[in-house]
Structure 1
């Protein structure tokens, strides 16, 4: 079971956590090289009694090239990896924790759906309140612009230290996109074929906290930032059970082809997806098991009917400072169809709602 410490200032528990999980061997602290993760990284390093080895990684995606560059900086295997960063750093740290230096071999095993187990203890300290990757068994690896997903229990870090103070130096657009990712994950978990009573409880808490705290957290309210940090972790734990669905499936090409931040890309189709889900719920008897869950989403979005959701959702996105649609982002009209044609069918199957390509493209209208 993962050890979790959540709350403002909890980075101070790092030294004690290392001593408990990996008392022997050198510590490797890994982070990003951008300015705001670097500030969070400095705060983390200040908590350690001895200066650890430091690995900095730059880039947009967790790809095979980045992974090889990381291994070039590691001479001997550490006794423990401490990952400080967003989703990309978490993904790379999970891959490094397998201890497998041969990246081609690792990629082959990922393609075969048989990733090697983690060899090195891993402690995760997120610098964004978004995917909750610090508490999920997922990682992704890109190779020549193609995405490969890892989904294995061994990818779950041994410990997650979720300190909102490490997240507050991120630019507002980064915090907005990350917060929307957390909110969308909560909604997708709730409306998933794989939903359970436990995942629903986590998802409902995540949605309520994220919807209530996101805007205030963007205004640098520390209490709201702490709520968002916890909401992201709750959503990550819910999605670890259910996996993502349609809005996530539609998001990846928007990020890869057009550079739209991940959480922002997910949110762009969510309003229309929820309207479509709600209207289908009235017609299709097979959707009845999700009636209560959908009602919970309606209530937390302050909507009384499915047709109210797109406008309410677009207003909320605009309040975060992010563009609410593809037109505002100045993306070509073809982007809708590109996204719809690039979806991962496994993600689509996680939703109880069956949508064809044309309908998927229309979710961006």
Structure 2
């Protein structure tokens, strides 16, 4: 318990603003939950999930809720795509916004909800606590097990090639309905990317200097679940036990995101998005490097992951390297590229990417701060996969 003694004197913060309904078949509860907010709903649904959208619309109609569907969600949110959705939302003026889909759809729904209630430019929301008023009532149903967006207070949107974050209690969902059955149709590649994103939330969140005992406890449980169930969900999408636990892990990861900060792994991923690298793939690829960056300063903390996995050694540094090896093996099993070269990232872009990581996506809560020279060396290693 000594690792937590300092919290007796400093205290810590844990955010959990969203009502959570979790379980197999729980999506049907939308019929009773949505009418509490009114009789007119805007259903924002991933453009590739028409059948799920129709099913959710049916439940809403059972609750005597009028449904207007917006399904122009393809890819990660941009200022333009969110602006188009918000324009339709303002015209519809719904009593409740309902988002159904992966992290991109859920983030879009959060921002749209906020823009209905806050007549402002989306750019003025960028940053922390810059959304003045609570958004229109919001219910989120994830169809992937990864981002945890359904329970966190963050949305990420692209402005050109730059990732911008909106962090505020006023964009958090009122209700999250997490039904693992909705993830059964998720293809293997997306299952891998989103599941590994959950793992990065756990390990990066735990490494952050803003972590706390509750974050650490959730993180270690996520590690246990991912180790046991992610491969199963990847190889057999209809393995409902694996889907159940991966959805559980993803939701816990969302709570981590609301209560601490990510470290350099997420910064690396953001620099790769301009090349069309999906967020989950980017964070997964970066995770071993994010761990290696911090082994020299927090080996005891990283070694707790090794203890959870049953691979710990007596020396905390060696245990931490075992964690790196475990992550690398998992990435290989799930078909994650081993290098930036394999991803098609031009070698001549390495120095610019390193500077972008340091200047555009700094991580003051990373235990070890990198110089520009160290970051350039890091990107060279990632390009070769060393």
- In structure 2, relative to structure 1, the CA distance for the partners of 1:41 and 1:303 (3 Å cut) is farther
Structure 1, gaps ≥5 residues long: 282-286
How much does 1:309 deviate? 4.3
Q: Distance in 2 between matches of 1:205 and 1:10?
A: 23
What is the aligned partner in structure 1 of residue 8 from structure 2?
A: none
Residues 1:242 and 2:260 are matched in the alignment: yes
| TM-superposition CA deviations, 1:21-48 (whole Å, max 9, x none) | x1x23011111112xx333323322322
In the TM superposition, 1:1-365 aligns within 5 A as: 1-20=17-36, 22=37, 24-34=38-48, 37-48=49-60, 49=62, 50=64, 52-74=67-89, 75-100=91-116, 105-110=121-126, 114-218=130-234, 219-220=236-237, 221-255=239-273, 257-278=274-295, 280-281=296-297, 287=298, 291=300, 293-301=301-309, 302=311, 304=313, 305=318, 306-334=320-348, 336-343=350-357, 347-356=362-371, 357-362=375-380, 364=382, 365=386
For 1:253-279, what per-residue CA distance to the aligned partner results, in whole angstroms no more than 9, with x for missing partners? Answer: 212x2111211111112113323422x
Q: Which deviations, in whole Å up to 9, do the C-alpha atoms of 1:311-333 show, x marking residues without a partner? A: 43222112113323323323333
Partner SS state of residue 47, structure 1: helix
Q: How many residue pairs are counted as aligned between the two chains?
A: 351
Give SS of 1:323's match. Answer: coil
Distance apart, 1:198 and its partner CA: 1.4
- Residue 284 of structure 1 corresponds to none
SS in 2 for 1:194: coil
Distance 1:225 1:161, change over 3 A: same
Q: 1:39 to 1:2 in 2, by over 3 A?
A: same
Whole-Å Cα distance in 2 between the matches of residues 112 and 199 of structure 1?
A: 20
Q: In structure 2, how many angstroms separate the alpha carbons of the residues matched to 1:99 and 1:273?
A: 35
Evaluate the alpha carbon distance shift between residue 5 and residue 111 of structure 1 in structure 2; reply closer, same or farther with a 3 A threshold. Answer: closer
CA 225–112 in structure 1, closer or farther in 2 if over 3 Å, else same: closer
Give the aligned partner of residue 3 of structure 2.
none
